[in-house]
Amino acid sequence: MKKETSPIVFCGAGPGDPELITVKGQRALQRADLVLYTGSLVPESALVWTAKHAERISSAAMNLDQIVATLVQAHAAGKRVVRLHTGDPSLYGAIAEQMEKLDMHAVPYTVIPGVTAAFAAAASMGIEYTVPEKSQTLILTRMAGRTPVPAAEDLALLAQHKSSMAIYLSAALADRVAEVLAEAYGPNAPCAVAYKVSHPEEKIVMTRAADLAGALRTAGIDRHALILVGPALGRRPDVDSVRSKLYDRGFSHGYRTS
């Protein structure tokens, strides 16, 4: 009789704080026999939920074929396997290529979402990205570097929307990012750098678009940071003049009559 096996679980560990993993993710780690985690990004503290018997392997030095071989072999051995990614695995997690390889090996998998750094940063800063009548759009993107981006998604083109924007994986390219943001939002537009948000060493640096690169250099930040820009980072007095319709006493909807 064929040995019963569990699907590979791709799980989002959240931004760093081990308590920001989902309950479902926590339970998956508690049941796992093997946790293959992205050691360059997922902190050791995120493994606190794993069982004592579980094998923990960092994939920091592995290439795609080595990662997939580890997953396939463990699955064939009947182990419960968690592939632990930082934040949410669907965002810059490179999970699609892993899934394609697993499909070739007829290995089943499932995905548990996680909290991405942009939302942990908003929580830490006490901001709302969707400011009524100022911005109803949040763009999650990155600057083109060693890894290119499609021409239509060049940062300068996206910045023309002047919406709320969270720029990942771009702290090392701060000079170019600053140039683009200063041009699109204006040199005095408020910006924030969220470094290792939710980690014990979290640091939030407030600056303006024109000073962004210098602020990162002064803070010694060139990685593990998110760059934020947009109406949500402005001062609050003008926000008070525009309220959401959701709780407006004069606005009727299916659950409330004005």
Q: In this predicted model, what pLDDT tens digit does every residue of 134-168 receive, in sequence order?
A: 899 999 999 998 889 999 999 999 999 999 999 99
Residues 219, 205 contacting (CB under 8 angstroms) = yes
Q: Residues 52-58: what's their mean pLDDT?
A: 96
Whether 123 maps to a domain, the answer reads: yes
Domain count, the chain: 2
Examine the domain organization and report whether 86 and 147 are in the same domain.
no
Whether 252 maps to a domain, the answer reads: no
Examine the domain organization and report whether 77 and 53 are in the same domain.
yes
pLDDT score at 106: 97
Is 25 strand, coil or helix?
helix
Q: How many CB atoms lie within 10 A of CB 76?
A: 12
Confidence of residue 245 (pLDDT cuts 50, 70, 90): low
Span 62-83, pLDDT tens digits: 999 999 999 999 999 999 999 9
Examine the domain organization and report whether 55 and 128 are in the same domain.
no
Confidence of residue 244 (pLDDT cuts 50, 70, 90): low
pLDDT score at 132: 84
Examine the domain organization and report whether 105 and 124 are in the same domain.
no
Confidence of residue 1 (pLDDT cuts 50, 70, 90): very low
Return the bridge partners of 138, or none: 164
Span 182-192, pLDDT tens digits: 999 999 999 99
pLDDT score at 234: 78
Residues 59, 37 contacting (CB under 8 angstroms) = yes
Confidence of residue 20 (pLDDT cuts 50, 70, 90): very high
What span, in angstroms and rounded, lies between the C-alpha atoms of 169 and 223? Answer: 7
Examine the domain organization and report whether 204 and 230 are in the same domain.
yes
Whether 256 maps to a domain, the answer reads: no
For residue 167, the enclosing domain spans 117-240
Examine the domain organization and report whether 81 and 187 are in the same domain.
no
- The b/e string for 204-214 (b: 16+ C-beta within 10 A; e otherwise) is ebebbbbebbe
Confidence of residue 235 (pLDDT cuts 50, 70, 90): low
pLDDT score at 250: 57
pLDDT score at 243: 58
Examine the domain organization and report whether 25 and 122 are in the same domain.
no
Examine the domain organization and report whether 22 and 101 are in the same domain.
yes
Which DSSP symbol is given to 165? E
Examine the domain organization and report whether 121 and 60 are in the same domain.
no
Q: How many CB atoms lie within 10 A of CB 229?
A: 27
Examine the domain organization and report whether 75 and 190 are in the same domain.
no
Examine the domain organization and report whether 127 and 67 are in the same domain.
no
Confidence of residue 246 (pLDDT cuts 50, 70, 90): low
Lowest mean pLDDT among 88-97, 109-118, 217-226, 230-239: 230-239
Confidence of residue 249 (pLDDT cuts 50, 70, 90): low
What span, in angstroms and rounded, lies between the C-alpha atoms of 93 and 42? Answer: 12
| Closest to 35 (Cα-Cα) out of 56, 14, 21, 9 | 56
